[in-house]
Each structure stands twice: as structure tokens, then as C-alpha cells.
């Protein structure tokens, strides 16, 4: 196959997101809110629109629109499986990650006995903590915590051997932190859990906008993603290893299907969200075709090449941001700050500026039509460890591959201005 790829082109990439062209009172929008949810790719919108116009019907009927819905959901599951490195019967679409983890924690914990243990991580979003905590309380199970180091913002991998033992039933952790931005060595955690036969759950909701996922290479039992964090619609997309998906007794109404992929989706799913998710994944594949280093052949190769191209661009954004804030006074960055370690983090930056309230900082950004988050983003444990839970949290500035170096420079200039006032 001939190589027809191009160097990264901001203009072309941004044209693939209709929302990026919008203005408010003639001010362009600067979206630095990606960790809370990215903008939606045109390919996702096209699929969403087509599904709702062409086949807005429930599945399983004898007529044309219902049959098109059946075909759409089969295709969406196949594409989502390719995206995760899984098989179509290992993919569960749901409302969002939180509700999916409440659902699965209830099913999984049925087998837990008093005296059993689970390991949760202090670095997780509460969606990967609270459901397991509640289940542990109900079953009389001991909870152990995998802490993180507040200097390096890395997991305390050195404690794994003392946390995980023959009583451990489950180990839950995250691939990349939605607060600190750290990319974690989840394979190391999964391997330690598997050595004692414990189930493993990886929250990839934050990493999936930035890193290609390969569940088979990781070897986990469960892995969560939310398509609205990777250029698609509000939904949950969960990988469940076949053996586990088949073993679990579903929480479902009696007449509903007993087989995957619908066995673990209680009630009518959002068929349109499934189609739109397919479109979001096709966006990543398009990036690979267009900007990948080699001409990719299969859909999986296109997706992986798309992530590689996006990652190279995001690394440049990360380096520019870290180098830009390094000389500024009064900025406390909660995460890896060393430019030479930029590839060890995703472009999600939580910071405080002197005595300025995070909400006041976010409001000042908003006056320039620059969108940044403030608060703790349900990273309840992290905010507690860092002592910012009760004081407004932090300002979170986050980039995706549609952001530009010029946008980073605008944000750094504003931070510089605020930092001298703080
Ligand atoms: C790392 C992480 N995990 C889980 C969630 C929860 O996802 P959902 O909103 O789909 O329930 C979020 C949402 O912000 C997140 O960032």
C-alpha cells in the first residue's frame, strides 16, 4: 500500500470537530476542558444523526428500521471491540462508567465472603472506588488502599506485595489520573493481582482520549471507558473478559437476552450512542490513515496509528505547557512538572495559583472564552490527600489532540498574568 499520509495539520484536524469553529460574541472558543469531556468528532455526529433518522426503532423486530438497529448495534460492538483489542462479546455499552461499575460491583461481590479483601487505589475517580466500597461494606470485606507518592505523583508500587495476598478478590486502579495526569504502570498492578487469582478492574476513562487501549496485552478482567471523553457521545463502554461476563449472573428483567453482548445491558440501550461511539472510533482511525507514520491496513492498525500521531502532537502541547509555567511564581502544579518526563503524563494539569480561588481563576478564564475546570472532579481521595478537598479544589487545564500550541501559549500568558497578582 502506498504511503499517502501527511505531517500533523491543526487546520485539518480541527475541521473534523464542528464545535471548534463556534464563537460567542465574536470571541473564538478555547476548549481546555477535555478531561471533563471532549468535543465531538464530526464522524460521531454523522453516525448519530443517521441512526436516529434512518432507524429509530428498538431492536429485535421483523421490520426494516428494527433490523437496521440490529445491524447497527452488531457493527458498533465489533468496532468497539477492535478499539479495545477485545472480542465483540466482551463489550458492554451502558449509560456511563459510574452506573456500569455499580452494576458490575453488585454482581461480582455476590461471591465475596467475610474475611476476603479488596485493594482500591487512592488515585482513582470515585466511580472506581465508591461502588466497590459499598459492596465491601455489604459483604464484610476488608478494603486495603494502594497509595500514591505526593512528590512523584506515582503509585506506591513498592507496597503491592504487602497489599495483595491470597485473600484478595479484586484490585481496582486507573490507567491515567483525571486529576494528576499520571500514566500508571497498570500492567504491573494487574500482574500482581493475577498472581493470586484476584480480579482486576482498570479505569481507562481518562487515558482513552490519549492512549490506545489493548485489553489483551494488559490482561485485565474489566476496563472502563466513557465515549464522551474520547470525541463521542455520553455513554459507557466497558470491557468485560469473556469468562467473567459469562460467569456473572446478570441483573436484568427475566425476558431479556441471556447472552452477550446484551446480557449485561439492563433495559433499552442508547442505540444512537452506540452508533456515535463507532463514529468517534472512526475519527481516531482517520487520524491514523491521514497522519500515521506508516500506511495502516486493518481498522485496529489505523486506530493505533491515529493514537500515535495524536500522542506526538499532545507531547508537544505538554512540553510547551510545562516549559511555559516552569518560570512562573506562585503556581503549584499537582502532577509531573519535569519537561523531560512529559511522556509519563497525559495533558491534564491541575494547579493552584497562590491564594486565588480556583473558581475565580476559572471565571477569569471564562471571560476570555477559555474553558477550564475547577473543583476536584470526583477524585475525592486525591483531593483529600493533597488537602484541597475543602478549599475549592484546583484549576484543571486539559488538552486533546485538537488543541494547538498557540492555544497553550494563550493560556500560559494568562496564567503568567494571574501569577503576579496571586
Ligand atoms: C477517570 C474517570 N473515571 C470515571 C469517570 C466517570 O465516568 P462517567 O461520567 O461515564 O460515569 C470519570 C468522569 O469524569 C473519570 O474521569
Better-predicted residue by pLDDT, 259 or 160: 160
Considering the four listed CATH numbers 3.40.920.10, 3.40.50.1370, 3.40.1160.10, 3.90.1150.10, the one that applies to the domain covering 10-31+300-421 is: 3.90.1150.10
Please say if the pLDDT value at position 272 is more than 60. yes
Q: Which DSSP string do the residues of 39-79 spell out, in sequence order?
A: PPPHHHHHHHHHHHHH--S-SS-SSHHHHHHHHHHHHHHHH
C-beta atoms surrounding 258 within 10 Å: 12
- Are the C-beta atoms of residues 70 and 241 closer than 8 Å to each other? no
**Which of 33, 38, 125, 376 maximizes ligand 1 atoms within 8 Å of its Cβ, making it the mutation to test the pocket?**
125
Please say if the pLDDT value at position 233 is more than 80. yes
Please tell me the predicted confidence (pLDDT) of residue 260: 84
pLDDT band at 398 (very low <50, low <70, confident <90, very high): very high
Of ligand 1's listed atoms, the one at least distance from the Cα of 37 is: 14
Give me the count of residues in the chain: 422
CATH 3.40.640.10 segments of the chain: 45-281
Ligand 1: distance of its center to the CA of 119 in Å? 19
Q: State whether the beta carbon of 226 lies less than 6 angstroms from ligand 1.
A: yes
Of ligand 1's listed atoms, the one at least distance from the Cα of 235 is: 10
Tell me how far CA of residue 326 lies from CA of 285, 333, 415, in angstroms.
Answer: 35, 10, 11
167-189 mean pLDDT: 98
Q: State whether the beta carbon of 82 lies less than 6 angstroms from ligand 1.
A: no
Q: Is 324 helix (H, G, I), strand (E, B) or coil?
A: helix
Please tell me the predicted confidence (pLDDT) of residue 2: 42
Q: Does domain 45-281 have CATH number 3.40.30.10?
A: no
- pLDDT tens digits, 297-350: 899 999 999 999 999 999 999 999 999 999 999 999 999 999 999 999 999 999
Q: State whether the beta carbon of 206 lies less than 6 angstroms from ligand 1.
A: yes
Ligand 1: distance of its center to the CA of 97 in Å? 6
Of ligand 1's listed atoms, the one at least distance from the Cα of 99 is: 11
E-assigned strand segments in 313-393: 331-333, 348-353, 370-371, 373-375
**Which of 103, 229, 400 maximizes ligand 1 atoms within 8 Å of its Cβ, making it the mutation to test the pocket?**
229
Ligand 1: distance of its center to the CA of 352 in Å? 22
Q: State whether the beta carbon of 125 lies less than 6 angstroms from ligand 1.
A: yes
Measured at the alpha carbon of residue 198, what is the angle toward residues 193 and 203, in degrees to the nearest 5? 70
CATH 3.90.1150.10 segments of the chain: 10-31+300-421
Ligand 1: distance of its center to the CA of 330 in Å? 30
pLDDT band at 1 (very low <50, low <70, confident <90, very high): very low
Is-above-0.85 flag for pTM? yes
Ligand 1: distance of its center to the CA of 263 in Å? 23
Cell numbers placing 317 = 502541547
Round to whole Å and give the CA distance between 192 and 170.
11
Q: Which DSSP string do the residues of 127-138 spell out, in sequence order?
A: GGTHHHHHHHHH
Of ligand 1's listed atoms, the one at least distance from the Cα of 36 is: 14
Of ligand 1's listed atoms, the one at least distance from the Cα of 177 is: 1
R_g of the chain computed on alpha carbons? 22
| Residues 6+ positions from 11 with CB-CB distance below 8 Å | none
Ligand 1: distance of its center to the CA of 345 in Å? 18
Ligand 1: distance of its center to the CA of 191 in Å? 24
Q: State whether the beta carbon of 124 lies less than 6 angstroms from ligand 1.
A: no
Q: Is 247 helix (H, G, I), strand (E, B) or coil?
A: helix
- pLDDT tens digits, 342-387: 999 999 999 999 999 999 999 999 999 999 999 999 999 999 999 9
C-beta atoms surrounding 252 within 10 Å: 16
Please tell me the predicted confidence (pLDDT) of residue 5: 59
Q: State whether the beta carbon of 97 lies less than 6 angstroms from ligand 1.
A: yes
Round to whole Å and give the CA distance between 252 and 38.
32
Of ligand 1's listed atoms, the one at least distance from the Cα of 98 is: 11
Q: State whether the beta carbon of 98 lies less than 6 angstroms from ligand 1.
A: yes
Ligand 1: distance of its center to the CA of 65 in Å? 33
Ligand 1: distance of its center to the CA of 73 in Å? 23
What mean pLDDT, rounded, does the chain reach? 96
Ligand 1: distance of its center to the CA of 33 in Å? 14
C-beta atoms surrounding 237 within 10 Å: 31
Please tell me the predicted confidence (pLDDT) of residue 4: 52
Amino acid at each position: 500500500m502506498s504511503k499517502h499520509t501527511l505531517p500533523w495539520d491543526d487546520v485539518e484536524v480541527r475541521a473534523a470537530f464542528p464545535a471548534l469553529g463556534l464563537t460567542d460574541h465574536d470571541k473564538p472558543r478555547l476548549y481546555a476542558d477535555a478531561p471533563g469531556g471532549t468535543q465531538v468528532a464530526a464522524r460521531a455526529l454523522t453516525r448519530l444523526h443517521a441512526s436516529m433518522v434512518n432507524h429509530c426503532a428498538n431492536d429485535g423486530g421483523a421490520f426494516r428500521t428494527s433490523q437496521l438497529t440490529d445491524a447497527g448495534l452488531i457493527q458498533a460492538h465489533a468496532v468497539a471491540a477492535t478499539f479495545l483489542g477485545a472480542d465483540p462479546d466482551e463489550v458492554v455499552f451502558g449509560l456511563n462508567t459510574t452506573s456500569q461499575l455499580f452494576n458490575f460491583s453488585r454482581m461480582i461481590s455476590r461471591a465475596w465472603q467475610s474475611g476476603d479483601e479488596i485493594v482500591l487505589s487512592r488515585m482513582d475517580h470515585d466511580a472506581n472506588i465508591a461502588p466497590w466500597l459499598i459492596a465491601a461494606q455489604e459483604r464484610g470485606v476488608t478494603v486495603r488502599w494502594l497509595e500514591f507518592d505526593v512528590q512523584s505523583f506515582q503509585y506506591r508500587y513498592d507496597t503491592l506485595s504487602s497489599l495483595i495476598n491470597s485473600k484478595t478478590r479484586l484490585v481496582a486502579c486507573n490507567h491515567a489520573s483525571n486529576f494528576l495526569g499520571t500514566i500508571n504502570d497498570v500492567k504491573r498492578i494487574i500482574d500482581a493481582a493475577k498472581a493470586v487469582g484476584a480480579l482486576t478492574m482498570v479505569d481507562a476513562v481518562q487515558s482513552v482520549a490519549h492512549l490506545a487501549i489493548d485489553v489483551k496485552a494488559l490482561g485485565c478482567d474489566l476496563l472502563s471507558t466513557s465515549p464522551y471523553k474520547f470525541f463521542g457521545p455520553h455513554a459507557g463502554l466497558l470491557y468485560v473478559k469473556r469468562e467473567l461476563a459469562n460467569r456473572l449472573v446478570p441483573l436484568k428483567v427475566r425476558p431479556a437476552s441471556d447472552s452477550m453482548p446484551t446480557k449485561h445491558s439492563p433495559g433499552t440501550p442508547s442505540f444512537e450512542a452506540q452508533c456515535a461511539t463507532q463514529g468517534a472510533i472512526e475519527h481516531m482511525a482517520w487520524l491514523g490513515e491521514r497522519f500515521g507514520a506508516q500506511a495502516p491496513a486493518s481498522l485496529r492498525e489505523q486506530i493505533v496509528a491515529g493514537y500515535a500521531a495524536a500522542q506526538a502532537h499532545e507531547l508537544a502541547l505538554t512540553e510547551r505547557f510545562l516549559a511555559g509555567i516552569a518560570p512562573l511564581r506562585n503556581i503549584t502544579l499537582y502532577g509531573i512538572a519535569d519537561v523531560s518526563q512529559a511522556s509519563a503524563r497525559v495533558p491534564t494539569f491541575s494547579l493552584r495559583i497562590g491564594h486565588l480561588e480556583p473558581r475565580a481563576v476559572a471565571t477569569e478564564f471564562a471571560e476570555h472564552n477559555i474553558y477550564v475546570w475547577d473543583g476536584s472532579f470526583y477524585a475525592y481521595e486525591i483531593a483529600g490527600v493533597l488537602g484541597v478537598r475543602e478549599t475549592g479544589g484546583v484549576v484543571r487545564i486539559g488538552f486533546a489532540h485538537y488543541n494547538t500550541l498557540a492555544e497553550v501559549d494563550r493560556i500560559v500568558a494568562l496564567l503568567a498574568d494571574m501569577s503576579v497578582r496571586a
